[in-house]
Amino acid sequence: MGEFDLIARYFKRPARRADVGIGDDCALLRPAPGMQLAISSDMLVQGRHFFSDVDPRTLGHKALAVNLSDLAACGAKPLAFTLALALPQADEAWLAGFSQGLLALADAHGCELIGGDTTAGPLNICITVFGEVPLHHGRSQALLRSGAQAGDDLYVSGTLGDARLALDVLLGRLKVPEPVLSAARLRLETPTPRVALGLALRGIASAAIDVSDGLLGDLGHILECSAVGATVEVDSTIGLIAAHAYYMSYRSTFFNDISIEQWRAWALAGGDDYELIFTAAPSQHEAVLAASQLSQTPVKRIGQINAKPGLQLLDSLSHSLPNRYASFDHFA
């Protein structure tokens, strides 16, 4: 199977949204009038972002999901994406699974594959995704990192920490009962991009970012871009770990206890969560709950934004905790 057969067999479909899709030097896309284009790019490397034996179908899902998550964090509606793929060899079973997982998520979001590149090389998946955000009287409706205000409530969507818990178990760093791993592994391998929530939060949230490097690290970008500080109620985040409830139900038969410190670290600095952290004025609280319902996405208030810069961590008794939670950095 040659390069062009591979593209035709697994990736090429008739262009719908694009004027020209796969098969020319460029794809041609006509943004709707009054729309801004939101663009994001993420690269996944074997051994860094996924294990070499991962199910190719879940890998296809995740490669697009992490990109859609960036659109979600901007409140952008997915339109299209390009896929550049370096493959050690053209393995048909792998390609079939990968393309199925990828295109199933793409279809679920009406996000069309419009072009890309295929080359031999160490397995590497680079997706660039395009979404649209309306302009309202010339002002962008995009959710940015820079809009948080002192007094805003701080929220996070969905679940936290499971991806890192699963990674630690898969790396042999600890053991948990099988159902606990299963719950956590779903979040590692098939994260849910919070696109519907991002769209529902336009005009409501004052700032947003998605959690890829860890809750506190990514919150730090909001604080820096908005020139504010925040208080985080640490123990309220532990309940957001999906595997935590499973673990608790097995606890009596499982003696190798996991410390609260470990649960905190997973929730605050686990990374790979692809949830949204966002801020909103207290007057928007009802609107936030309505956006959560509309998008069928759980949302939890975990703290607030302060005028004073810096991050304050409080335990369940409102005692201050030291911040020992380093976020992920590829080169630190």
Interface of this chain with its own copies, residues 60 to 79, rule: CB under 8 A:
70-71, 73-74, 76
Residues binding its own copies: number (CB under 8 A): 72
CA dist list (Å): 306 to 156, 223, 283, 287:
17, 9, 16, 21
The verdict on 277 binding its own copies (CB under 8 A) reads no
Sort strands 229-233 and 310-314 into parallel, antiparallel or unpaired.
parallel
SS3 5: helix
Query: Rule CB under 8 A: is residue 274 a binding residue for its own copies?
Result: no
- Strand, coil or helix: what is 274? coil
Give the footprint of its own copies on residues 84-123 (CB under 8 A): 84-87, 89-90, 114-122
Q: Which of these ranges, 30-38, 162-170, 295-303, 311-319, lies near its own copies under the rule CB under 8 A?
A: 30-38
Which of positions 212-251 make contact with its own copies (CB under 8 A)?
225
By beta-carbon proximity to its own copies, the closer residue of 139 and 319 is 139
Name the H helices within 52-189. 56-74, 92-108, 162-170, 178-189
Contact between 140 and its own copies by CB under 8 A: the answer reads yes
In whole angstroms, the minimum distance from the beta carbon of 29 to its own copies comes to 5
* Contacting residue, 8, 37, 96, 287, with its own copies by CB under 8 A: 37
Q: Which stretch, 33-41, 57-65, 240-248, 309-317, contacts its own copies (CB under 8 A)? A: 33-41
* Closest distance to its own copies from the beta carbon of 323 (Å): 17
* Closest to 62 measured CA to CA, from 13, 16, 12, 97: 97
Alpha carbons 288 and 148: distance in angstroms, whole number: 15
Contact partners, residue 221, CB within 8 Å, separation at least 6: 145, 209
